[in-house]
Amino acid sequence: MENAVQIVIGRFLDGVDCPPTDLDALGARLKVTGIIREDLPFSGELRRNSKGFEIACSSHLSASRQRFTVAHELAHVIFETTGPNCPTRGKELERLCDMLASEILMPQDKFMTVADADLRIEKLFDISRIFKTSLAATAIRCAQLFGHSVFEVKGALVTWGYGVVKKGPISRLDEYLQRAVEKALKGQNGEETLVVHAGLLRKWNVQYRSLARDGRALFLMKQIRGANASTTSSGSRNEQVSLFTSLDRSSS
């Protein structure tokens, strides 16, 4: 599916400036006559008109969220132009449109020229500025392409997560990872080696950065390949963790 998405979007993006993706140029190619911002109670919608389509986007969204909404609606246009029997609604269609939107905004070939498997968490901020995407969308894209795990915490909740950590209360986390969360929420930045239980015990490099402006923190977890997960060195940077004793089962 990922390869198919890359091939389809690659054809439409040929000749379109990126990064950041010129959504107006892509829209014109897809017979979108206008992209407008309105006082909407929802993120956005696709409207048919006599010349093609118009995309309306909520003016209340952040700039990066508006771009994702527009890209999502452009994905709907792609489906609409495939023929009379194309799907028009449903969870699977929305999931596919999200996948297409990610590829539109962060084309894999362009994305991997600025990101790599040895990614440092600080680089996520730079990449999000380059592609004009949200920090969450950027982090998830990196995790998808390189097999990492990313998540964000705010207060007592994991607000979103991709990989071994899923959305839910941080109380479900093992006590050692909770301690790292507590540090990050207090404004600390850090890096630790943790043995994580996610079906199997594996050793991960865990980096975290405080997003102190609104009391959030971002985590990036990269598996340490070939490491012996049964032993770790002692000290604050090396803790043994059993992650999500119940959440892995309930969220899988």
Digit-coded pLDDT (tens) for 149-162: 999 999 999 999 99
Would strands 200-211 and 168-169 be described as parallel, antiparallel, or unpaired? unpaired
Query: Which residues of the chain register pLDDT less than 50?
Result: 231-252
Q: Which pLDDT value is given to residue 110?
A: 96
Q: Which pLDDT value is given to residue 33?
A: 95
Q: Which pLDDT value is given to residue 94?
A: 94
Q: Where are the alpha helices (DSSP H) in 81-133?
A: 91-105, 108-111, 121-131
CB neighbours (10 Å) of residue 171? 9
Domains and CATH numbers, the chain: 2-109 (1.10.10.2910), 147-251 (3.30.450)
DSSP run (H or E) holding 140: helix 135-146
Q: Which pLDDT value is given to residue 228?
A: 54
Digit-coded pLDDT (tens) for 126-152: 999 999 999 999 999 999 999 999 999
**Which candidate, 73, 90, 4, places its Cα nearest to that of 33?**
73
Q: Which pLDDT value is given to residue 227?
A: 55
Q: Is the dihedral of CA 48, 50, 53, 57 positive or negative?
A: negative
Q: Which pLDDT value is given to residue 236?
A: 38
Strands (E), the chain: 32-38, 44-49, 52-58, 149-154, 157-162, 168-169, 190-198, 200-211, 216-223, 238-240
